[in-house]
Chains A and B, each alone.
Chain A
Amino acid sequence: MTLPVKFAEDVRALPTHAFGPRSLTWWGVVAFFLIEGTAFALAIGAYFFLEGVEDNWPPDPWLPPGLLWGTLFTVTILASEIPNTIVKRAAQRHDLATARRYMLILLPIFGLLLLFRGLEFTTLNVLWTDNAYGSIIWALLFLHLTHILTDIVDSLVLTALIHTRHGAENRRIVDIAENAMYWRFVWLTWLPIYTLIYWVPRWVA
C-alpha cells in the first residue's frame, strides 16, 4: 500500500500562466538559446582557427565581401526590434490587439530581411568551394540563414494563430512574449557574425 496522505496546502488559487522565468516555455526557449549560442560560438572559434592558418585574410587574391546588402540587413534587423519590443510589451500587459497589429507590421520586415539575405550571398566575392576561407564565410551566413528562417516561420504561424479564437488563450500570450524574446536572440547573434564576415577580413588585411 502507498502511504496515507495528509493534506497540507492547496494550490487552486495559483495562476495558470506566467511570463519569463516563471513559465516552462521560457526555460525551454532559453535552453535552445544555449544550444544555438554554443553552436555559433564554436563556429566562430572555427573561423578564427582557420584564420590562424592563413597568411592573409581573405587569402590572396580574394576580396572581402561587399558591404551593401549585409549592412542593409543589419540596419533592418536592428530596426525590427522596435515593433518587436512593442509586441513583447503588449503581450505582457495582455493587450492582444496591439500585439496582433505589430506582429502584422513585422511581416514585411521579414520579407525585406530574406531579400537582403539572399542578395548577401551574391556579394561574398568567394565560393564555398574556393578555399577554407570561403567555406567558413558561407557556413556562418548559412547558419544564420537557417536561424532567421526558423524564427520567421515560427512568427508567421504564431501571427496566424493569434488571429484565430485561440489568440485569446493566456498561453498564446505567453508564446507571443517568448517569441519576441527569441527574435532578440536572432539579431544579437547576427552582430558578431556580421563583424566576422564583413569587417574582420578588412581589419586583418
Chain B
Amino acid sequence: MTVLTGQDLPRDGEDLQGAALHGRLERTWGDAPGLWGWLTTTDHKRIGKRYVVTAMIFLALGGLLALAMRMQLARPEAGLMTPDRYNQIFTMHGTTMMFLFAVPVMEAFAVYLVPLMIGTRNISFPRLNAFSYYMYLAGGLLLWVAFALNIGPDAGWFAYVPLSGPEFSPGKRTDIWAQMITFTEVAALAVAVELVATILKQRAPGMTLARMPLFVWGVLVTALMVIFSMPSVALASSLLISDRLVGTHFYNQYEHGDPLLWQHLFWFFGHPEVYIIFLPGAGFVSQITETFCRRPVFAYPAMVLALVTIGLLAFGVWVHHMFATGLPRMGYAFYTAATMAVAIPSGVQIFCWIATIWDGRPRFQVPLLYVVAFIITFVIGGLSGVMQASVPIDLQVHDTYFIVAHFHYVLIGGAVFPLLGAITYWFPKFTGRMMGEGLGKVSFWMIFLGFQIAFFPMHLLGMWGMPRRVYTYPAGMGWDEMNLLATIGSFILALGFLLFIADAVKSLYLGRVAEPNPWDAPTLEWATASPPPQYNFAHIPLVTSRVPLWDNRNHLPVVTGLRVDDRELLLTTVMDARPDVREPSALPSIWPLWAALSTTCLFISSIFTPWAIVIGAFPVGAALIAWFWPKSGLSPEPVIE
C-alpha cells in the first residue's frame, strides 16, 4: 500500500500570503473566460447574482400584470380586457410572484450571502447550485412563453380542483402551470439541500450555532421548511397532471377521489411557503437593524427561538385556508388556536427589533427606513391575520378583497420591504459601489406610501363585500372610489420601483466606490473586498464572537493550511464549528447545464405524452452520469493503492 502524503503541496500561511496568495487562489478558483466560463461556473456569487437578477425581472413582469389588473378595476364595468384574459393575468401574477420571484429571490440572496457570512469559499454542492438556476430559469420561461402564446394558466395560483381538473380546464394551460411547479420545486429543493449542508458543515472555525448571524439562522430554518413542505406541492401537482393526462382519479369525486385532497396537499405546502418568504426577510431585518443601530440585536436567543417556533408552527396551520370547506368543531378550534399562536413568536421578534432600535444609536439611512416600513406594514398585516384566525370573521371575509389586502401587507410588508432594504444594504458587496442615498429616500417614500394607498382601501372593499378574482364590478356598489384610489396607489408604488431600479442601474456605473466594510457592519461578508474575489477569503476567518468585525477592529484572526492548488474547503463540526476535515469543492462543469436541458425536455414533453418520462430518462441519466464521473487526475493527497 502506497500512501502519498501531500506534505509539499502549496498552502496559505506565513510563507504564502498577500499578493502571491491572491494570484495563486485566483488561478485555482477562477472561471474560464467568456461565455464558456459563464455557462460552466460553480461560483456561488455568480450564480447567486444571476438568480437575483432573474427573480427581479420576474418581479417586474408580475408587477406589470398587477398594474394591468388595477387599470381594469379602476372603474366599474371597464372593458380593458376579457374575463378570460383577466383570469390568466391574476393567475400569472400570483404564480409569478410566489414561485418565480419571492421564494427564488430569498434563496438567491442566501446563495450569494451565506457562504460569505459564515466564512467559507463556496457553497456545498456547487454544481447542483448551477443546475438549480438553469431549472428555475427554464420553469420561468415555460410559464411566460406559454402566456405569450395565450396558453397561460387561468385557474388561480393555487389551481383548485375541480376547476383545474380535466373536465373544467381542457387544453394545456393547467398542465403548464403544474409543470412549472415541478421545475421550481426541483430548483428550490436543490438550493435548500445546499444551504443546509453549507450552514451546518462549512461555518468558519469558532462560529458555533450560537454565534451564527440571524440571517443565517433564518435561512437554515427556511431551508428545512422548503425540504419538508415543497414535496407536498410537487406531489399535489404530479397527481393533478396524472389526473389530466393519464386518467387517474385522485381528485375526481365521481370515481371516489376527493377535491379536498388537493387543498390539503396544496396548503400543507402553501402555508409554510408564506414563512419561507418571510423568515429570510426577517433575517435581512435583523442584519440591517444590527448594523444601522450599532448594537447587536436585542435578545439573540429569543430571536433564534422565535425563528424556529415560526418554522414549526408553519406546519400546523394549513387548514385555516380551508375554514370555508367545513370542518369538525375540534378542527376549527385547533387551527384557530394554532394560527393565533403564530402571533407570539412574531411579536417577540418585532419587540426585539424595536428594542434594538431603541437601545442602539440608529442611523436612519435607506436600509433602516425599509426596516421601519416593514415593522409598520407587517404589524398591520399580522393583526388582520389574527382577525381571520377567528372562524366567523374568516367565513365573512373569505374570498374578498380583505384577504387580498391582508396577504399583500404580510408579503410585501414582510418580505419585499426587507428585500429592498437588503438590496440597498448589500449592493456595495455585490457590485463594489454604493447606491444613492437621495434617490433611495425618494423611491423609499413613494414605495411605502404608494403601497399603503394601493392596499389599505382593499380592506374596506373586502368588508363591503367585493369578491376577489372578478374582472369587473357593476356601478353603484359603493366600490368605485376605493378601487380608483387603489389604482392610483399602485401607480405611485410602481413609479417608486422604477426609481429604485434607475438608482440601482445608475449606481452600478456611477455610484461611490465602496470599501470592504462601508457601513461598519459586524458580520464576516464585510471582512473581504467589495465585490469579493472568487475565492471569498484569502484565509479562512476564525470567529470568536457573534459580531466578529466589531470585536476584532485591528486584525482578523484566521486559520491557515488549506491547499491553494486545489479548490479546498474547511469542514467544521456541526455544533461547535471545530475544524474537522478538508474537502475539495467541485470544479466548473458544463454537465449541470446539459442535465438541466435534458430534464427540461423531459418535463415539457411529458405535458404531451407520458412516454416522455420513459424516453427522456435516458438523456437525463446520461448527463447526470457525465456530471458525476471524475474527470480530473487523482488527488495528490493520501490515496490508498
Give the most central of B235, B571, B637: most A CB within 10 Å: B235
Does B552 interact with chain A (Cβ within 8 Å)? yes
Q: Per-position contact with A for B549-569: 1 when CB-CB < 8 Å, else 0?
A: 100101111111110000001
Given contacts A4-B554, A11-B561, A28-B197, contact A39 B527 (CB under 8 A): no
Q: Are A6 and B556 in contact (CB under 8 A)?
A: yes
Given contacts A46-B250, A131-B249, A135-B248, contact A168 B641 (CB under 8 A): yes
Give the most central of A4, A6, A94: most B CB within 10 Å: A6
Q: Which residues in A have some Cβ–Cβ distance to B below 8 Å?
A: 1-18, 21-24, 27-28, 31-32, 34-36, 38-39, 42-43, 45-46, 49-50, 53-54, 59, 94, 96, 128-136, 138-139, 153, 157, 161, 165-166, 168-173
Chain B residue numbers with a CB within 8 Å of A18 are: 571, 580-581
| Interface 9-residue window, one of B258-266, B337-345, B447-455, B597-605 | B258-266
Given contacts A15-B582, A131-B255, A132-B252, contact A28 B125 (CB under 8 A): yes
* Interface residue from A3, A13, A38, A170 paired with B227 (Cβ < 8 Å): A38
Given contacts A168-B639, A169-B639, contact A39 B258 (CB under 8 A): no
* Interface residue from B249, B516, B637 paired with A132 (Cβ < 8 Å): B249
Total residue contacts A-B, CB cutoff 8 A = 218
Does B574 interact with chain A (Cβ within 8 Å)? yes
Q: Which residues in B have some Cβ–Cβ distance to A below 8 Å?
A: 11, 13-14, 17, 124-125, 189, 192-193, 196-197, 200-202, 205, 227-228, 230-232, 234-235, 239, 242-243, 246-250, 252, 255-258, 261, 264-265, 268, 515-516, 527-529, 538-540, 542, 549, 552, 554-562, 569-571, 573-574, 579-584, 621, 625, 628-630, 634-635, 637-641
Q: Are B234 and A23 in contact (CB under 8 A)?
A: no
Using CB atoms, name the residue of chain B closest to A95.
B640
Chain B residue numbers with a CB within 8 Å of A157 are: 625, 628-629
Chain A residue numbers with a CB within 8 Å of B557 are: 5-6, 8
Give B558 Cβ to nearest chain A Cβ, in Å.
Answer: 5
Chain A residue numbers with a CB within 8 Å of B625 are: 153, 157
Give A91 Cβ to nearest chain B Cβ, in Å.
Answer: 11
Q: Are B628 and A11 in contact (CB under 8 A)?
A: no
Q: Are B201 and A46 in contact (CB under 8 A)?
A: no
Complex alpha-carbon distance, A54 and B261, angstroms: 14
Chain A residue numbers with a CB within 8 Å of B247 are: 128-129
Q: Are A43 and B235 in contact (CB under 8 A)?
A: yes
Q: Are A10 and B560 in contact (CB under 8 A)?
A: yes
Chain A residue numbers with a CB within 8 Å of B264 are: 45, 49
Pick 11 A–B contacts, CB within 8 A, sort by A. A9-B560, A11-B560, A11-B582, A24-B201, A35-B227, A43-B235, A49-B258, A132-B248, A153-B625, A157-B628, A169-B635
Q: Which 8 A-B pairs have the closest CB atoms?
A: A12-B561, A135-B248, A132-B257, A39-B231, A31-B193, A27-B197, A8-B557, A10-B561
Chain B residue numbers with a CB within 8 Å of A5 are: 17, 538-539, 555-558
* Interface residue from A2, A94, A139, A165 paired with B529 (Cβ < 8 Å): A2
Complex alpha-carbon distance, A22 and B575, angstroms: 12
Q: Are A46 and B527 in contact (CB under 8 A)?
A: no
Given contacts A16-B637, A169-B630, A170-B638, contact A38 B231 (CB under 8 A): yes
Q: Are B249 and A14 in contact (CB under 8 A)?
A: no
Q: Are A35 and B231 in contact (CB under 8 A)?
A: yes
Complex alpha-carbon distance, A2 and B192, angstroms: 31
Q: Are B248 and A138 in contact (CB under 8 A)?
A: yes
